[in-house]
Amino acid sequence: MGAFDVELVGKVGSMALVNKKFNDIDHNVLAFISRQLHPGMIWVSSGAAEIGRIDYIRRTGKQLDGDIEHNKTDYAAQGQAILMQEYRRYIDPSFGVRQVLVEHQHFNDEKKRALLKELLLRCPAQGAVPIINYNDPLSSEEIVKLEIRKLTQSGMAESKVVHCLDNDETASQVACLVKCRRLIIFTSTLGIYAKAGDPSTLIEKISGKDVYEVIENVSNCQKLCVGASRQGAGGAGAKLEYIKAPVANGTEVFIASPQYKIADIIKGTAPCTRIFVG
């Protein structure tokens, strides 16, 4: 593995795991992804809150009508069990599957960072695939803002504080933590488009002679990005912001669609946006 501790970190978003037409889990997508996972990979998965919402409606015939933040945490708590059940169902039975719930504090506190890193790096040798998600059931926007404010007041530079606003940021932070060779961010598009919503304008690569040039080119591409797939999501521009740190760390990044195999994306035989130095 050389200078890299982990082969790959990957992330899939909520919308990729839900069949909008039938308002149900997209078992085909989950199965397709899960069967490609093996030890040496770390998988960051959204979807718990949306899957929990679908399950709650199916069981009760209605949505929760309380506070939006409380609803999100309650849905997430219900959906986590289902999400992990689905990954366990489809991942090769000879591999272990380990759920890891993280919060911003696990990246902002050095001791917790070390514990998380050690946990993740033990997995390949033990034949296990870690599935990471943000710990929505035990988090709230108000508490997170308060804790982030305390960090900056304690002297930590704002640029160094990890917020984990969504799982794109979480995946990028995990990629930096374990220093992975490759990071794949699955999204609802084929990659980054020069013109929003137009697949024919797919930007196939963002590169440069060194890290500084690549980051500059990533920033230029951000100016082309507008909109997001759902409320609360940052969209393509946010994805590009989050992946700057892994790129600076030497990681090759792919923004791609989950309809294609991971191996094909890496080989360059599937459409995607590849971000790299060289």
Q: Which string of DSSP letters, residue by residue, matches 60-125?
A: HSS---S-HHHHHHHHHHHHHHHHHHHHHHHS-TTSEEEEEEE-THHHHSHHHHHHHHHHHHHTTT
How does pLDDT run across 32-71, given as a tens digit for each residue?
999 999 999 999 999 999 999 999 999 999 999 989 888 9
Q: What is the mean pLDDT of residues 7-15?
A: 94
Q: Which of 42-56, 150-164, 180-194 has the lowest mean pLDDT?
A: 150-164
- Per the model's pLDDT, the better-predicted residue between 29 and 156 turns out to be 29
The model's pLDDT over 103-129, given as tens digits with 9 standing for 90+, comes to: 888 888 899 999 999 999 999 999 999
Q: What is the pLDDT of residue 87?
A: 97
pLDDT for the residue numbered 50: 94
Decide if pLDDT at 230 tops 60. no
**Average pLDDT over every residue of 182-195:** 94
DSSP string across 120-153: HHHTTTTTEEEEEEE-GGG--HHHHHHHHHHHHH
Structure token digits, residue 159? 């640029």
What pLDDT was estimated at residue 15?
Answer: 86
Residues in the chain: 278
pLDDT bin (cut points 50, 70, 90) of residue 174 is very high
**Percent of the chain surpassing pLDDT 90:** 71
Instruction: Quote the pLDDT of residue 213.
Output: 97
Mean pLDDT of the 198-217 span: 96
pLDDT averaged over every residue in the chain: 89
Q: What pLDDT is stored for residue 236 in this prediction? A: 87
Q: Above 80 in pLDDT, residue 191?
A: yes
Q: What is the pLDDT of residue 69?
A: 87
pLDDT for the residue numbered 234: 53
> Six-digit token pair at 245?
């740190």
**C-alpha to C-alpha distance for 184 and 11, rounded to whole angstroms:** 6
